[in-house]
A and B are shown apart, each in its own frame.
Chain A
Amino acid sequence: MNKPVLGPFESPADNEAHMLGTLQHIDVPMRRFKELEEVDYLIVGVGSAGGVLLQRLARAGFNVVGLEAGPFWNTERDWVSDEAGSHELYWEDPRVTGGTDPLALGANNCGKGVGGGSVHWAAFTPRLHPSDFEIYTRDGVGADWPITYEEIRPYYEQLEREMPVAGPAYYPWGHPHGYPYGPHPMGGVGNALIRGCSALDIPVSIGGPVAILSGSHGDRPHCIYRGFCIQGCKVGAKASTLITHVPDALHRGAEIRDYSMASRVSVGRDRRVNGVHYFDREGREHFQRAKAVILCGYAIETPRLLLNSACPGFESGLANSSDTVGRYLMAQAGTVVLGRFDQLVRMYKAPPAHALTEEFYETDPKNDFARGFAIQTVGPLPIAFAHQMVAAKKAWGWGLRREMMDYNHWASFGLLGEILPWPENRVTLAEEKDRFGLPIAHVSFNLHDNDHRLIKAATKKTTEVMQAAGATEVAHEARYAHLVGAARMGADPRTSVVDKFGRSHDIPNLFICDGSIMPTQGSANPGLTIQALAARTADYLVSQADQVFTSNDRDMTPPPFRPDFAPPETWGKGVPRLT
């Protein structure tokens, strides 16, 4: 079994093609705008939200350019099945992290390059629950959203088809629903979660919801269960906006300018933004004019750019009259609970994300804390697992070598716990500068009583499930997952940065659309919600035609839902169970 019959595997296409997965490639020359040309929308950051907005706005006929700090990936050439070889996927520019509970950044939660975080996410795609939009009203904690679940629901359903999402036919939590593609087969970790949950009478969702193809979909093959999801899916089975939305955006005349690091959003005398300054790969400064700007840089770079754009009239940064920019930053408790089994597990096979339970998601009056948590499968590869053994068992030297020789005996669950938004958990500017001379971000994070109590209960429950699954030894690594908040949406301009459509309260043609606008986060992985919000903001912008460019009026009428602006691949391809 040492050689393929037809010789060593080679790239499926010639070296000239810009590949997006095994089969798909970019088949049109990209339109190029001139910098002096005033484009309609300039998007900063082509990630989860930026990719969707670029596609929608281009399809609606706007002239739109996306600035992306990282590369425009050719997946065959640039990505590898290798942990140590995948650093380029993550935002590894300098940042400072502190507070009583400093967050690990970089590979933990920050993407770079076209597709952004959707390139390295595990692709769990649960929706927020209806309760998430009103936790202040219900529990007196956090904040209410300026929108309800019903307002985002069509966009959840729509994006679940555009990615598309594989999962059970009936998903019982929050607002019950089903998924368009059938669930994935189980790996060893998923089986452990099923075993543990079943023994304790806890319902469990099997085989999803995860934005990984369980059946082929046009020129995207189905999953091959190689386990390297968070190193970028070379197969093209895992959804990222790089492969789901960017191709259609280019077909419709959008431009993506990669290796373009935005440094400052420019404001005119009329107190409206008129373009963005940015540095190219060689460090040369450019300025792209635009009628409106949408920031999609995620929960650290978006507030950093707003703060770095301070200018006369906006001394504390753009869109910051409320002093809310950078505040209410959230990460979820992401403690990994590890269980050792007598039998082999081999957790490197199958996607890390393939089973979960949200049975403990909602506030339970019996608890001594508000809100709740989910329990999900995770499948650390060797380097990640070794780091976990260092934290969970204080292993080093021979002890570490010994634990690692048992790698194949371990399964791991990740709890995903809701940490509430707190004003002092925030992004500010450090004195230190990056290679472009721009002040870098300082991130301060501190847990509060409710967070501590929730993490304690969640760790205990997840440990119980692992034990019920048959683990003979259980340990845990405390950590955090995801980042949202820091430019939150709200109805009140005194306590929020943007309105419910993502338009900044202070500047009528400056929008923000990414995880940073979320007022709370629930216990759901944020990727689906970020893309759903982007599609909704796009519908709003389309409904406004050129009003955004010419008027300071703020029309708060909800836009009509426009599934006709979805990528055409959404329908008529593949083998979905639901159409």
Chain B
Amino acid sequence: MNQDDPKSSIEVPNAVLLPVDPETGDALSPRLQPGYYSGFSTLSQQSFWDPATRKVVLDRVGSSSPLRFFSADEAKFWEAVFDHLIPQTDRTPDRRIPILPALDDRLNRNRTGGYRYEDMPHDQEAYRLGADAIQQEAQHRYGGDFLVIPYLQQDLILKALHDGKPAAAKQIWKRMSVHRFWQLILGDAIEAYYAHPWAWDEIGFGGPAYPRAYFRLERGEAEPWEVEEQRYEWAAPVYSASGEVEATHEFLTEALQHRSHARLRERQP
């Protein structure tokens, strides 16, 4: 990254929000391309894609259509939430992947995945109710607007939803499953972030391969245009609550796999 670039230096986040070197504890500088495949670029291969695929991917990269569903304030709020669901402070500002445009387009067209859980309102309403609930949680826990409380406190509020343990907005959570709401917003974040070719570069996914084909199928071997993995160690930022994962081996069905959902049901006979 070019540290002299005034645009990026203004937006370089506070060091406590950056991933760190686990050995030294030092913050790692934001990268053009985080992940272990430095030099790999799916977009560089676009001439090998079919025209329809090229168009759909390039439209996504260049997309800057105005928001239609979210108001400016709502957009600001959800941008802040998505900065936690999929944090991107390890990316240089010019290489952050927009989450909101795809979601706004989906909600504006009222497009869904083809079903709604019976304990959930429609997606459009779920987003409005959820924003209200998150704000109530911020007031309840920290006595402030979600957008003005510190990043770590924001993270802890969202972790409460992740854990299925919101303390406020009981009326809203009676109308809407905490777990299914969490699944909804995290799912939308995923479907925007991992649809972007920069994310493919980050994780070493080869991307579209029609009509060229893949031909090294075994042992994880790289195609000539792919690169070998170059790992580096990193840990989640000091000021974050999302670094840990836990495997839920004891839950064998979809409904039980999300403990928060099960617990909430028990509380509300």
Contact = CB atoms under 8 A, between A and B. Distances in A.
A272 interface: no
Interface stretch (A211-219, A400-408, A489-497): A400-408
Nearest to B89: A398
A81 B194 contact: no
Contact of A381 (B49, B102, B205, B242): B205
Contacts of B112: 92, 94, 106
Interface string B176-211: 000000010011001111110001101111111111
A507 interface: no
Contact of A390 (B54, B90, B158, B190): B190
Interface string A459-496: 10000000000000101111110000000000000000
B249 A386 contact: no
B56 A404 contact: no
Contacts of A235: 210-211
Contacts of A9: 47-51, 211-212
A390 B183 contact: yes
Contact of A344 (B85, B86, B117, B219): B219
A346 B206 contact: yes
Contact of B209 (A102, A224, A386, A392): A224
Contact of A407 (B86, B203, B218, B242): B203
Interface in A1-46: 1-4, 7-12, 22
Contact of A393 (B45, B199, B247, B253): B247
Contact of B208 (A2, A81, A87, A90): A81
Given A76-B52, A97-B115, A102-B117, A397 B47 contact: no
B36 A188 contact: no
A226 B213 contact: yes
B191 A382 contact: no
A394 B245 contact: yes
Interface in A301-350: 335, 343-346, 348-350
A83 interface: yes
Contacts of A479: 254
A284 to B, nearest CB: 22
A81 B217 contact: no
Interface of A is mostly: loop
A226 B206 CA distance: 9
B217 A188 contact: yes
B76 interface: no
A452 B253 contact: yes
Contacts of B217: 185-188, 225, 349-350
Given A81-B208, A478-B251, A394 B47 contact: no
Nearest to A98: B118
Contact of B49 (A79, A81, A84, A442): A81
A455 B253 CA distance: 8
A54 to B, nearest CB: 25
A456 interface: yes
A226 B194 contact: no
A76 to B, nearest CB: 7
B141 interface: no
Nearest to B44: A2
Contacts of A398: 19, 87, 236-237, 240, 242-243
B147 to A, nearest CB: 18
Interface string B239-260: 0111111111101111111100
A400 B87 CA distance: 10
B113 interface: yes
A474 B82 CA distance: 28
Contacts of A87: 111
A455 B249 contact: no
Given A4-B48, A82-B195, A100-B255, A396 B218 contact: no
Interface in A103-148: 103-107, 110
A391 interface: yes
Given A350-B214, A393-B246, A105 B114 contact: yes
Nearest to A399: B245
Contact of A348 (B46, B206, B242, B249): B206
Given A101-B254, A397-B84, A452-B252, A94 B220 contact: no
A462 to B, nearest CB: 11
Of A77, A185, A403, A476, the most chain B CB neighbours within 10 A belong to A476
A383 B190 contact: yes
B116 interface: yes
Contacts of A390: 183, 186-187, 190
A286 interface: no
Interface in B8-23: 19
Given A386-B190, A478-B253, A393 B245 contact: yes
Contact of B242 (A102, A188, A400): A400
A191 B115 contact: no
A270 interface: no
A80 interface: yes
A36 B214 CA distance: 51
Given A81-B209, A98-B119, A188 B87 contact: no
Given A9-B212, A187-B218, A397-B155, A102 B203 contact: no
B130 interface: no
A271 interface: no
Contact of A391 (B220, B241, B257): B257
Contacts of A350: 214, 217
Interface string A215-234: 00000000011111000001
B162 interface: yes
A346 B240 CA distance: 30
B224 interface: yes
B57 interface: yes
A82 B205 CA distance: 12
B102 A84 contact: yes
A4 B211 CA distance: 11
A456 B242 CA distance: 29
Contacts of B221: 344, 346
A79 B53 CA distance: 8
B229 interface: yes
Contacts of A569: none
22 contacts: A4-B212, A8-B47, A78-B52, A82-B208, A85-B57, A96-B117, A188-B220, A224-B212, A226-B210, A228-B208, A228-B210, A343-B220, A345-B220, A346-B222, A382-B199, A390-B187, A393-B246, A394-B248, A398-B240, A400-B245, A402-B243, A478-B253
Given A83-B194, A235-B210, 16 more contacts: A106-B114, A110-B114, A188-B217, A228-B210, A234-B211, A344-B229, A382-B205, A393-B248, A397-B243, A398-B87, A401-B86, A405-B36, A407-B205, A452-B253, A478-B251, A478-B252
Interface of A: 1-4, 7-12, 22, 76-85, 87, 90-98, 100-107, 110, 185-188, 191, 224-228, 234-235, 335, 343-346, 348-350, 381-383, 386-387, 389-405, 407-408, 442-443, 447, 452, 455-456, 459, 473, 475-480
